[in-house]
Structure 1
């Protein structure tokens, strides 16, 4: 909630500030018109004198106009200097002050008015991006209808606790992450996934904060609220992404530090060489590097807004820029190239046990795990009406298996390597069953009780429909595509063959830390790696990669913390879109920078020759800034 409120307040402050500037600029504009009328039409005499200096109505009107527009610019420059920060308003401030000293009050007032008017136009041009981001933050509700006694009453979201029953009426925005306890409906999850087709929800299904209930009423048991919810984390990520500075922005900041002193020197030289004070004043106006400063953030903000509307969450602009450097994409197998919706295909009992016995034993060990394999086993056990309660201790070995102890009964479920690591031997009949499972392209899991292997479970997964197409796109656009899997080599090769990934680029039976080490070795060779995983056991590799992309993490909010980019829509389809958007953003930033620098120096040359006046210089300066913003805004309508 605090995240959402902070973000909403930020945009509200922007709107208030914008409204105040519009009013002040309007008053200043009227005063400028009056000043020009007084000077050129009425030729009014001084109304009074200050130390023999004549004070005319034209001067009063111009100075009043400056108090509304020029004074804030000058004050902003002074505050920047007091903080020892370079401020882009310094040059314009000097130009305004210089014009006032020379008695060119109308020129000073008009320059200040045009600069403020230009900033208002810039805000309007970049407003689309901010409105898109604000719309995301605004979908976080502030109240929920919670069951209190026998009635549902509206309470602030801060008072909702885990386990509360929440009523979500048709048309309501879901206020919590939770599980449907009663009711059926369709829910629009486009705010999370970018997918416009509503999702059917029935008892037992998960619903998420920020999504919109459409048809029927739902009663939902609250599981996560506020900042802990999926949507809360998303809003937090968007806020962080907007605040982060990208490499190009830091370079611009360094450039501006020496740019201002250099411009002052150039203006001084022109004054000494020509004796015309208006030329250096015009140089100060056109040299204000607003277009240069806007070149990067305007492009990044547009790209972030575009991505967020399509269910692509990017933690910062630097990951957009990094897309241009990526020369290898590493793909996880389970949940990435495959659907990750595993099912138990077959059970192989040994030692005289029955299939149901093996399934019940495996389910007890997996009862406390959230791993996709555990869910597959538990679903199969529940389908057979088996008791899957487990009150013992569970020890998970990421990438290998799971071990549990219940009422002095030791149960282990996992790969052959896992069983051998904990000191169990694999009988020949179990190895034969394992070979048969491998031959069918499925994943074998050994089930052991005590010191004895009592059976195997065959786990089946399916290739995502879009995997082959995406792999081909990546191979054409990036070049090298590799697959990293914790599964066996046999199963990994089957998936690789179906997806069009060469066998020699497949690495199997990797533990999470081994995937991380694999990526580190690539980076030590000078490669720039994008790693794509589903968030399950992929944390180290996601963090190690230059760009770590996680897929479909509405339930696994931990991946929102470890990945650099999150594709909220299940599937790989948006991966190529994200990489293409990043490359286009980098290209847009470069175009902006080249234009801003060349335009600025061209205007300075025209000012030095006397072709531009201070007023024309202010107009030209704002045209340059608007051109940069409009070029960046094209990213909002990016097409891939």
Structure 2
């Protein structure tokens, strides 16, 4: 398609052609008026007509003005008829009736002006709406086109869509990563801004995960393809943003229902006014003035802008309804492990309580018990056992999880328990070596203790510690600044450990020793207190609470298809400050929605008053109407600006000034 064809089918061809016809018509009328020297004014061509209605120049000018109305109005009438076929009274219908009526009574200028301005408005709306969807366009643009793969021992460049699962993909300096995958060799720095919103490149080495659409800023990586095409994180993000930008908020649904009744009401008002006054022009003007265009577009344009801004910053919001609800969040419930803490616990203590055993034996039994467990605290025990040469061998025995208490397993024909005191009590194990005191001492030091018992005899206590995230206190402060009244910790850990974390992070309320159903009850209690609750968790043990909360938030969702698809808000990176940022953005979006509604309603009221009290013509009304549409769009586009600044470098001075208690191991 050449440039002329692109222009013909482009959004500006109709208003440009109509505008040219109107300009030529006005020029001819000006020539006629100069020859007749009529009264100068906005309707001077009518004055000229009174002097020479038979002038060929006047006839040609009228024909051109009529042609302009037809060119600009054809698409409007077609759109109105299509809407009628599905029993929808659209704004186009009001403009169509007004323009056709103006033509019937010989007012070609008003017909041309109204349709021309409406066509310009449509073109400008399309251009600005495309701008508000720029975040989605940017996501699509970062999708890689080609990939370098190893086939038959040689490097081959192929389209990214043709990479096969399990192939080795080479990522060189400056290249886009074409697939989701795992690094199998090499080191490099990857810019993950397109996925997580973080501007600082992340160092990658063997076993690290990389994502399609990210960019190498140095080094050389060999990547095993684990996600290709539509199965990549980037593809899922694009799909989610597309759906989210089209999803309606509750306010938008209300406006849509309002418009369904409003449009016929305007038609009835225009008909009644025309019959009572006998003024057809008044009735037609009311049809134009009453167009609720700015009102209809006020909400969706804000939603598109808000969700687009969030996507740029690595925040996926499921849709307009969740964006609107997020603005009302007054309480945030957070899990401890992996949210307030790093989620990488390490074994810190092995306390021997059995007189006939040593540290290595206690560690061996603990590791053997945890070998079949999926609990996050099992990993540091197994890693330490492996490092000390006492890692369990063979297939783990039967493991029975006891939620909120620990696990029970069979090791070498013997029953091994590892967990807290309630677990021992449930299985009738007597604490005759004061393991409870040892556990309390470890917990008071900010560690998570686990008592180990073999065949109903306590042999020792192991403890693990996790590091508090450096930005956790700052997250709590920013949540309060964003209007959140209460930040609550919900954890299955002991009270002493939870209080240590709570003190370091300034958490408002602590609930410790919780089972999954207890977390659900805690969220429900917050809702009964009148709070709109957001729950931040890992989506496994916290699933009931996440489902119950008004907004479920998944952190570090990059690479997790389930989190991207199911969470109400998915924070693609592990940056805690994205949470208050998402709430702040939601509040700004809702504020813009309210401003837009006020602008739209104010414009309609003022124009209607202007019609009844005189001074507002059909063309002036359409001009002001289209102006109001552009104002609400431009107002919404303010959301595309990144007013939060980069969260990749949080307030360093405040974090450096944090007390040593904020970085204790818990």
TM class by shorter-chain length? Answer: 0.7 to 0.9
Spell out, residue by residue over 1:595-617, the C-alpha distance to the aligned partner (whole angstroms, 9 max, x if none): 11111121122123341222212
Distance in 1, matches of 2:538 and 2:232, equals 18
Distance in 2, matches of 1:616 and 1:227, equals 50
Distance in 2, matches of 1:364 and 1:34, equals 91
Query: By how many angstroms is 1:365 displaced?
Result: 5.5
Query: By how many angstroms is 1:558 displaced?
Result: 2.9
Query: By how many angstroms is 1:410 displaced?
Result: 6.2
Query: By how many angstroms is 1:291 displaced?
Result: 0.6
Instruction: Tell me the residue number matched to 1:49.
Output: none
Matched, 1:90 2:93: yes
Instruction: Tell me the residue number matched to 2:103.
Output: 100
- Counterparts in 2 of 1:586 and 1:508: CA distance versus 1, 3 Å: same
Of residues 327-336 and 406-415 in structure 1, the stretch that sits farther from structure 2 once superposed is 406-415
Of residues 288-297 and 506-515 in structure 1, the stretch that sits farther from structure 2 once superposed is 506-515
Spell out, residue by residue over 1:453-509, the C-alpha distance to the aligned partner (whole angstroms, 9 max, x if none): 55433110122222223323434532222221111112111211222235xx32111
- Counterparts in 2 of 1:160 and 1:141: CA distance versus 1, 3 Å: same
Query: By how many angstroms is 1:132 displaced?
Result: 1.9
- Counterparts in 2 of 1:272 and 1:462: CA distance versus 1, 3 Å: same
SS of 2:449's partner is strand
Q: Residues 532 and 550 of structure 2 are in contact (CA less than 8 Å); yes or no, is this contact kept in structure 1? A: yes
Q: What is the aligned counterpart of 2:590 among 571, 581, 586?
A: 586
- Counterparts in 2 of 1:633 and 1:552: CA distance versus 1, 3 Å: same
Matched, 1:230 2:236: no
Q: What is the aligned counterpart of 1:135 among 128, 134, 138?
A: 138
Q: What is the aligned counterpart of 1:544 among 536, 548, 552?
A: 548
Matches within 5 A, 1:242-253: 242-253=245-256
- Counterparts in 2 of 1:31 and 1:399: CA distance versus 1, 3 Å: farther
Query: By how many angstroms is 1:510 displaced?
Result: 1.3
Instruction: Tell me the residue number matched to 2:651.
Output: none
Matches within 5 A, 1:192-341: 192-341=195-344
Query: By how many angstroms is 1:385 displaced?
Result: 5.8
Distance in 2, matches of 1:428 and 1:563, equals 46
Query: By how many angstroms is 1:245 displaced?
Result: 0.2
Distance in 1, matches of 2:13 and 2:193, equals 38
Distance in 1, matches of 2:17 and 2:216, equals 47
Spell out, residue by residue over 1:232-267, the C-alpha distance to the aligned partner (whole angstroms, 9 max, x if none): 332222122111100110111111111112211221
Q: What is the aligned counterpart of 1:474 among 473, 479, 498?
A: 479
- In structure 1, runs of 5+ residues without a counterpart are 1-15, 45-53
Spell out, residue by residue over 1:23-58, the C-alpha distance to the aligned partner (whole angstroms, 9 max, x if none): 2322222223234345554699xxxxxxxxx99544
Q: Residues 433 and 458 of structure 2 are in contact (CA less than 8 Å); yes or no, is this contact kept in structure 1? A: no
Distance in 2, matches of 1:567 and 1:322, equals 17
Q: What is the aligned counterpart of 1:434 among 432, 435, 439?
A: 439
Matched, 1:462 2:452: no
- In structure 2, runs of 5+ residues without a counterpart are 1-5, 34-44, 46-56, 645-666
- Counterparts in 2 of 1:397 and 1:38: CA distance versus 1, 3 Å: farther
Query: By how many angstroms is 1:178 displaced?
Result: 1.8
Query: By how many angstroms is 1:521 displaced?
Result: 3.1
Q: Residues 89 and 264 of structure 2 are in contact (CA less than 8 Å); yes or no, is this contact kept in structure 1? A: no
The TM-score, its normalising length taken from structure 2, stands at: 0.84
Query: By how many angstroms is 1:349 displaced?
Result: 4.5
Distance in 1, matches of 2:125 and 2:118, equals 10
- Counterparts in 2 of 1:235 and 1:511: CA distance versus 1, 3 Å: farther
Q: Residues 66 and 108 of structure 2 are in contact (CA less than 8 Å); yes or no, is this contact kept in structure 1? A: yes
Matches within 5 A, 1:236-635: 236-349=239-352, 351=354, 352-359=356-363, 362-363=366-367, 366=370, 371-384=375-388, 387=391, 391-392=395-396, 399-402=404-407, 413-418=418-423, 421=426, 428-447=433-452, 454-475=459-480, 477-502=483-508, 505-635=509-639
Query: By how many angstroms is 1:275 displaced?
Result: 2.6
Distance in 1, matches of 2:532 and 2:161, equals 43
Instruction: Tell me the residue number matched to 1:20.
Output: 10
Query: By how many angstroms is 1:127 displaced?
Result: 3.4
SS of 2:11's partner is helix
Spell out, residue by residue over 1:103-152, the C-alpha distance to the aligned partner (whole angstroms, 9 max, x if none): 33332222111111112222333433211221023323354333222023
- Counterparts in 2 of 1:234 and 1:383: CA distance versus 1, 3 Å: farther
Distance in 2, matches of 1:593 and 1:174, equals 43
SS of 2:126's partner is helix
- Counterparts in 2 of 1:607 and 1:380: CA distance versus 1, 3 Å: farther
SS of 1:184's partner is strand
Q: Residues 367 and 390 of structure 1 are in contact (CA less than 8 Å); yes or no, is this contact kept in structure 2? A: no
Spell out, residue by residue over 1:420-447, the C-alpha distance to the aligned partner (whole angstroms, 9 max, x if none): 5567665535434322321211111344
Distance in 2, matches of 1:178 and 1:381, equals 29
Of residues 606-615 and 450-459 in structure 1, the stretch that sits farther from structure 2 once superposed is 450-459
SS of 1:216's partner is strand
SS of 1:428's partner is coil
Distance in 2, matches of 1:148 and 1:396, equals 46
Matched, 1:120 2:126: no
Q: How many residues align?
A: 614
Matched, 1:636 2:640: yes
The TM-score, its normalising length taken from structure 1, stands at: 0.87
- Counterparts in 2 of 1:437 and 1:113: CA distance versus 1, 3 Å: same
- Counterparts in 2 of 1:401 and 1:24: CA distance versus 1, 3 Å: farther
Distance in 2, matches of 1:250 and 1:426, equals 62
Query: By how many angstroms is 1:184 displaced?
Result: 1.1
Distance in 2, matches of 1:398 and 1:64, equals 77
Q: Residues 168 and 217 of structure 1 are in contact (CA less than 8 Å); yes or no, is this contact kept in structure 2? A: yes
SS of 2:12's partner is helix
Distance in 1, matches of 2:140 and 2:394, equals 41
- Counterparts in 2 of 1:142 and 1:415: CA distance versus 1, 3 Å: farther
Matches within 5 A, 1:34-73: 34-39=24-29, 41=31, 57-58=60-61, 60-73=63-76
Q: Residues 592 and 636 of structure 2 are in contact (CA less than 8 Å); yes or no, is this contact kept in structure 1? A: yes
Q: Residues 29 and 58 of structure 2 are in contact (CA less than 8 Å); yes or no, is this contact kept in structure 1? A: no
**Aligned alpha-carbon RMSD (Å):** 3.1
- Counterparts in 2 of 1:506 and 1:127: CA distance versus 1, 3 Å: same
